[in-house]
Each structure stands twice: as C-alpha cells, then as structure tokens.
Amino acid sequence: MTMEAEAEMLRQDILSKLAYQVGARAERASPRDWFLAATLATRDRIVDRWRTSADEVVAQGHKQVCYLSMEFLIGRLLSDALGNMGLTEPMRLALDGLGVDLEAVFAQEPDAALGNGGLGRLAACFMESMASIGIPATGYGIRYENGLFRQLIQDGRQLEVPEDWLSLGNPWEFERSSLTYDIGFGGTVTQDDGGRMVWHPGEVVRAIAYDTPVVGWRGHWVNTLRLWSARATDPLHLDAFNSGDHIGAQISRVKAEAISRVLYPGDESPAGQELRLRQEYFFASASLQDLIRRHLRLHGDLLTLPEKFSVQLNDTHPAIGVAELMRLLVDVHGMDWDVAWEISRATFSYTNHTLMPEALESWAVPMMERMLPRNMQIIYLINARHLEQARAGGAGDALLSAVSLIDEQHGRRVRMGHLAFVGSHKINGVSALHTALMKTTVFAELDRVCPGRITNKTNGITFRRWLMRANAPLTKLIVDTIGPQVLDDTDRLADLAAYARDAAFQEAFAAQRRTAKEALAKMVRERTGVVLDPAALFDVQIKRIHEYKRQLLNILHTVALYNSMRAQPTGNWVPRAKIFAGKAAPSYHQAKLIIRLANDVAKVINHDPTVRNLLRVAFIPNYNVTAAESIIPAADLSEQISTAGLEASGTGNMKLALNGALTIGTLDGANIEISERVGLENIFIFGLKASEAGPLRRDGYDARAALAASDELRGVLDAIASGVFSPEEPDRYRGLVEGLLAHDNFLVTADFDSYVASQRQVAQRWGRPAEWWRSAVLNTANVGWFSSDRTIREYADEIWDLPVR
C-alpha cells in the first residue's frame, strides 16, 4: 500500500472514531478528542496482530513468559506504537489532511507513570523487546489509579500532587470484566477430612484484568500488559446506606479499592505496611491464578507448567508468589508437595535489583500470619525443608540462621529476597559488578547452600524508544550514514565508528545535538524561567534523587565552579548548564533537602551577573519518561556518579551514551561495562572503586581528612553552611554540611577532589571539539550491546529455556 493510501484509510478511521466513539464533530474537536480518535484507530490495527499472535501461541504451543512487576514505567504509548507499526508518517499525513498536528496529538497523551524509576522502566523496555523479538509474554502488574506523584517545585521545594493519568479515560486498555479472580485476606485455616488444608479468608477482594497491547518492532508480534484493578465483592451495604450511614455503607469498597489506588503508598505506618503487602499479594495471586487457568486451558496438565511458562519475579515485590503458587498447586489443585515444589522452582526465576540492606524487603511475621495465614504456614514448610537440606549439606548454626527465610534478629521477619531465592531456579543480578557483589554480600550464604543459581543479565534499554523515537533526527543521520539495517540490528551501530573522525559527520552529529539543545532550552525556559545557552556544555543528571546517586556531589561541583568563576571571572571558562531532574520519595527528607539545595544554588547562580555567560543551573520539575525523552538527546555530559558498589546497573547511563553523551562516572553498575565498550579514552572515570568504597563505608570513613586536604572542598562547604545559597535562612544547610562531615556514608567528600579533577578534563575535552565529537560518536557506535533485545535473548537462553525464533 502506498503511504497516501494508508494515510487515507487512517483518516477515514479517525473520523469514524471521532464521530462514533469519542462523540465529537471534526470542526469542534479538541486536541484531546483527536488524540483519542487517533489512538483508537491505531489500536484497531494492533488488535488484528494481537489476535494472530495469540492464535500462533495456541497453534504452536509456544512456551510463554509471565513478567511479574509491581511497576511498569511505560510513559506515553502512541508514538511508540505508531513507530513500531511503521505508521508514523501515514498518521502524520492523515492528520495533516484534517488540519491537525501529530506532535500536538502526541502531547495530549498522559505519561503513564506506573513506576518509580529504573526497575519499572526496565519492565517496560523488556515488554517492548519481548514483543519485538517475538517472545510470547504477559506483563502482570497493578493498574494504579494514581501512579507516581506529579512533582511541583514551589519555592525550591518538592511538592507532591496526585497524577491522575486515567481521569480522561485510557484509550489503550480493554477492561476484561469477565476475567476476574477472588483474592482472600485474613481468616482461618482448617483441615478437611482428606487432610487437605482449607483457607477460609475473612475478606475477599476481586481482581479485574485490564489489558493493553504491546506491539513489537515492525508490528510482527503483539504481547499483553495485564494490569489488575481491585474491586470489592460487597461494594455497598444497602441497609446501612438506606438508614443514613452513607459512608459506613461503602467502607468495604473503599478498603478494597485502596489496593489499586496508588503506587507505593507511604509505608512508615503499620497501616501503610499492611497496604503494601496487600498490593503485593493481590497482584501475585491474581497473576498466578490467571497463569494456572491459562495453562490448564492450553495444556490440561499442571505437571507441564515449567515447560510452557516461565515466571520472572522483578525484584521481591511479587516474591509472595512463591508461597502462593505452592498454595494453589497443593491446596487447590491437590498436588503432592514435593512435586509441586519442583514445578514451582522450575517455573520461577528472580531478578535482584539492590544490595542495600535497608532496601531488602521483609515483612513482620505477625502481620503475615494475620493477613495471609495459609501462605505463612507454607513459608514455614518451605523453610523447614530448606533448612533441613542445608543441615544435611553440613551447614552449621550460623549459616542456617543466615539462610533461613525468617530473620530472627530483627523481631521475626520474613526475608522476601530469601523466599524468592529459595523458590527460584535462577537468580540474576543486573550488571557484572552487581552480580559479583550479590555473591559476596546479600546472597553469599544462600549461594553456598544452593550453589549455581546466580547468573548475570546486564540490563538494557529499547533502542526503538530511546533512540529512534526520542531522537528521530539523530536516527535519520545514522541511517543516512550506515544504512537502514541498523534499525533491525543494533550491533550495526558499530559501523559508525568508521565516521568518528570524519569532520563532516562530526559536524552533522553536533548540529543534531544543537537542535535538541535549543528545544530543551525552550522547554526549560517555559517550565522554570531559567534561560540556558544552547552553546554551553549541557551537563545532565536525571534520575531519582537518592543519597547514593550523589546529586549532592554534583551540586558541590557546581558550587566549586561558581566559586572559581567568581574569583576569576575573566578566566578561560567553558560555559556550562548544570541540568538536574528527579523525584525524591515523599518521606525521604534528606533527598528532599538535596532538591531544595539544588534549587537554592540555581537561584543564586542564575541571578549573579558575574557568571551570567558562564554558568546556569536548572532543576526541571516532574522527571518522567516523557521528560527523559526530551532531555536525553540534548545532553553533552551524562552524570553517573553513584558511590561505587551501590548502583546495581543504571539504565539512564545507557540511554545517554546511546545518544552520544559522554559519561562522567564511577566504576559502578553498568558504567563498568559501558567503559569497557566505549573505551577509557571516551569516558571520564573517577573516584573510589567498589573494592575500596565498600571497606571504607564499613569501617567508618572520616571526612575531616578530605576536608583538611582540599581548600576547594572547604570553600564549597563553608559557602553552603554559612547560607550563601539560603540568605533568607542562613542555617538551612548547616545540618546537611555537619552531617556530611560527621558521617559521610556515601563518600561524597572522599570522591570530591577526584571528581573535580575529572570535570576539569571534561572542560578541556570540550575545548577541543574534534576530540569531543569523536568521543561522542564512538559512544553511540559502541553501545549497541546495551539493547534490551540482547538482554532478553540472554534471559530466554539461560533462564527461561525458551527458543528465540
């Protein structure tokens, strides 16, 4: 079909959707109406392929993946779907003919922020890659009515307001009102005459499926993202309502529906913790009940479950599923325990995302016993057999208590990471370093008792979204230079290396960056009022705000630059724009203070005429996937400066390098593998290594030595502590600085000098454009390996035992 014919058909469909589904007239349709109509027309085309994909799974009996994740940070879908279907240009043409601008239609779509950060975005990239490769897969999660909060910056401070992405309807999803499962909570457990355990839940909540199609590259294959919404089984007590208790009559509805209300409700309070565990069990149970139904329908016999399905646990949030699958197999389907255990372990595998002790999930035993009495019994049974085996293998008491699913030291808690480990046949880390550290830290003892299960799968990103869609001009340049095969085979990016020294190519590469920087400067001005010079070096740190990610170190460098520039305003400075974006968890006070400091520093620097043409600082509010898509193509320098050993992988580092930003970073997470591929001459590595930082943090690091050795650091900390950036409240950051000197857990002061020296090299390189752009091109050329297609192929091969067609 010609593009014009395709566009004409789309145009007819859009008009028909507009009239009959949206109920609007073309001459009075709002941009939102056009978005709905265009999306529905696109969705129809995807649905046809969805059906053929599903038919093929049935006909061929393909093995399938269930990806269980508390988060799917999918962002906007329309441009991705059109791109993968090859319909972007026909759609542009179709809308042009109606006097509607495609980009304006894209901008109408809410950003589905059903996740927090890297872990959720990984799930979204994996879903896209599985569809692109043609691996049959279902992503299972929760359909939060309010995803991650929307961040406002007011007087320099983070303010959280609910993000109601569903308020105007969601044209992508299909409500499967007949696809429901009952999820029990509380109650009692008895034994029936045949000796089987029977759970009598005290409360039953219904899970309803909402399906969103996930279309792969070139539209060959379509998978399903199935998100569960919670409904009460007894939504209204009519007697109570009629007798005037209008609120009390709906309490059970409110309580049930709270489960799918918000992503990560605060878990400081016992009620908050209870809700979190309810969410986890709710979606794990619904997903596994669905898995069993699907398997029985297709294959009839639960003994073949692991031959036909693999279940990947994305972190420990769905780990309760290990006990739940055992409950379903043994109690509900009458399977023998040992057989069920073998099947369960062959089905599950688990991805670990963090080594930080405070981030390892555990639940208090009394709460588990109250909320999930039968699951708790099953955890005890799993633990008893697990410890028995370990003892038979020669484990002593210390080792047994370390590998036990129950932590007895902190008031009896269930270790969810241990449960996931013991219940899985493979456990993977997300970068080479992280996997190595897993074996020597969190899972050292479990690895001794259950050897051979740990494997590495370095994260990846989908190039369709993070290069082809986020940076269409660069993609066009690449395709014009090395040919269109690169669109289907990311390894071909390596062909760009031949052009790294080519002056004309460098110029074209730099021109593309310049255009993206102009667009970002415009966005920053509109959203923050800060004026950035597109000629400046755009120095970018975008990620969740966390102490270990060390935005503070970057702020200290900003202040150091400011001090030096003020001391020598006529010096030979490289103009810089320091760009920050990221959200802090609502209860994470230190992270919020860091946001405030960044904004306070920005305010003073941006108003100081001495550095007007040299230094600007912008904090872009409400970092999300959509913001990332416009910031990344405009980045010259990518800040990946976590305390070594603490960033499991990072994926922001990959997105930025792919788009040709040079990385300044520590030897942490996937930075190490990036540096191996782009070459040490094309990346700025500084600071302590994990092998040095680990012992230093453990043994107690003393910041005063670093302070004594560095005039520059002293000048920076003095300025911040004395209120240079908070003149209206000079003591605002005194505590922060004193805290840094008393217990610098993340080694900010230890790495400061090395970081500043590395930043000087960055400035020098920027001053030699031919070298800078050569390095930039080589970054893009050498990171093809970080495609999530590669990651997924490794999972398929080595974890899921699933042939890639």
Ligand X SMILES: *Cc1c(COP(=O)(O)O)cnc(C)c1O
Q: Closest-CB residue for ligand X?
A: 652
Of 229 and 554, which has the nearer Cβ to ligand X? 554
- Cα 36 to Cα 172: distance, rounded to the nearest angstrom: 9
- Cα 165 to Cα 147: distance, rounded to the nearest angstrom: 8
Of 141 and 652, which has the nearer Cβ to ligand X? 652
8 Å CB contact between 122 and 314: yes
User: What is the separation of C-alpha 106 from the centre of its chain, rounded to a whole number of angstroms?
Assistant: 22
Of 368 and 646, which has the nearer Cβ to ligand X? 646
x/- map, 580-619, ligand X, by CB under 6 A: ----------------------------------------
Of 289 and 626, which has the nearer Cβ to ligand X? 626
Q: Which of 117, 98, 86, 90 is nearest to 28 (CA)?
A: 98
8 Å CB contact between 99 and 759: no
Of 117 and 575, which has the nearer Cβ to ligand X? 117
**H/E run at residue 314:** strand 309-314
Q: Is 625 in the site for ligand X (CB under 6 A)?
A: yes
Give the residue, chosen from 92, 345, 457, 543, that forms a contact with ligand X under the rule CB under 6 A: 543
8 Å CB contact between 172 and 114: no
Q: Tell me the one-letter amino acid at 526.
A: E
Site for ligand X in 473-492 (CB under 6 A): none
Q: Is 650 in the site for ligand X (CB under 6 A)?
A: yes
Least distance from C-beta 542 to ligand X, angstroms?
7
Site for ligand X in 150-179 (CB under 6 A): none
Of 139 and 575, which has the nearer Cβ to ligand X? 139
8 Å CB contact between 133 and 792: yes
Least distance from C-beta 579 to ligand X, angstroms?
14
Site for ligand X in 292-321 (CB under 6 A): none
Find the radius of gyration of the CA atoms of the chain: 27
Give the residue, chosen from 624, 643, 749, 775, that forms a contact with ligand X under the rule CB under 6 A: 624
Least distance from C-beta 389 to ligand X, angstroms?
37
Q: Is 118 in the site for ligand X (CB under 6 A)?
A: yes
Give the residue, chosen from 651, 671, 779, 780, that forms a contact with ligand X under the rule CB under 6 A: 651
Least distance from C-beta 669 to ligand X, angstroms?
8
Q: Is 652 in the site for ligand X (CB under 6 A)?
A: yes
Of 469 and 543, which has the nearer Cβ to ligand X? 543
Least distance from C-beta 582 to ligand X, angstroms?
8
Of 321 and 652, which has the nearer Cβ to ligand X? 652
- ∠ CA 500-762-117 to the nearest 5 degrees? 90
Least distance from C-beta 661 to ligand X, angstroms?
12
Count of alpha carbons within 13 angstroms of residue 217, beta-carbon side: 21
CA dihedral sign of residues 410, 416, 422, 426: negative
Count of alpha carbons within 13 angstroms of residue 495, beta-carbon side: 16
Q: Is 121 in the site for ligand X (CB under 6 A)?
A: yes
Q: Is 129 in the site for ligand X (CB under 6 A)?
A: no
Count of alpha carbons within 13 angstroms of residue 779, beta-carbon side: 30
Kindly indicate which of the ranges 11-19, 84-92, 317-325, 651-659 contains the residues binding ligand X, using the contact rule CB under 6 A.
Answer: 651-659
Q: Is 628 in the site for ligand X (CB under 6 A)?
A: yes
Residue with tokens 């999530």: 788
- Cα 805 to Cα 790: distance, rounded to the nearest angstrom: 14
Of 230 and 690, which has the nearer Cβ to ligand X? 690
Site for ligand X in 33-92 (CB under 6 A): 73
**H/E run at residue 713:** helix 711-721
Q: How many residues bind ligand X (CB under 6 A)?
A: 13
Least distance from C-beta 675 to ligand X, angstroms?
16
Kindly indicate which of the ranges 298-306, 586-594, 608-616, 621-629 contains the residues binding ligand X, using the contact rule CB under 6 A.
Answer: 621-629
Of 292 and 670, which has the nearer Cβ to ligand X? 670
Kindly indicate which of the ranges 36-44, 85-93, 647-655, 703-711 contains the residues binding ligand X, using the contact rule CB under 6 A.
Answer: 647-655
Count of alpha carbons within 13 angstroms of residue 778, beta-carbon side: 21
8 Å CB contact between 159 and 268: no
- Cα 440 to Cα 1: distance, rounded to the nearest angstrom: 58
- Cα 579 to Cα 7: distance, rounded to the nearest angstrom: 40
For 122-164, give the DSSP string.
HHHHHHHHHHHHT--EEEEEE--SB-SPEEEEETTEEEEE---
Active site residues: 353, 543-544, 549, 651, 655
Kindly indicate which of the ranges 21-29, 115-123, 151-159, 399-407 contains the residues binding ligand X, using the contact rule CB under 6 A.
Answer: 115-123
Kindly indicate which of the ranges 251-259, 622-630, 685-693, 723-731 contains the residues binding ligand X, using the contact rule CB under 6 A.
Answer: 622-630
Q: Is 117 in the site for ligand X (CB under 6 A)?
A: yes
Least distance from C-beta 543 to ligand X, angstroms?
4
- Cα 561 to Cα 564: distance, rounded to the nearest angstrom: 5
| DSSP SS3 for 349 | strand
Q: Which of 685, 675, 662 is nearest to 777 (CA)?
A: 662
User: What is the separation of C-alpha 138 from the centre of its chain, rounded to a whole number of angstroms?
Assistant: 17
Least distance from C-beta 620 to ligand X, angstroms?
12
Q: Which of 660, 653, 652, 684 is nearest to 756 (CA)?
A: 684
Kindly indicate which of the ranges 21-29, 116-124, 184-192, 221-229 contains the residues binding ligand X, using the contact rule CB under 6 A.
Answer: 116-124
DSSP code for 545: -
- Cα 405 to Cα 416: distance, rounded to the nearest angstrom: 8
- In the complex, which residues of this chain contact ligand X (CB under 6 A)? 73, 117-118, 121, 543-544, 624-625, 628, 650-652, 655
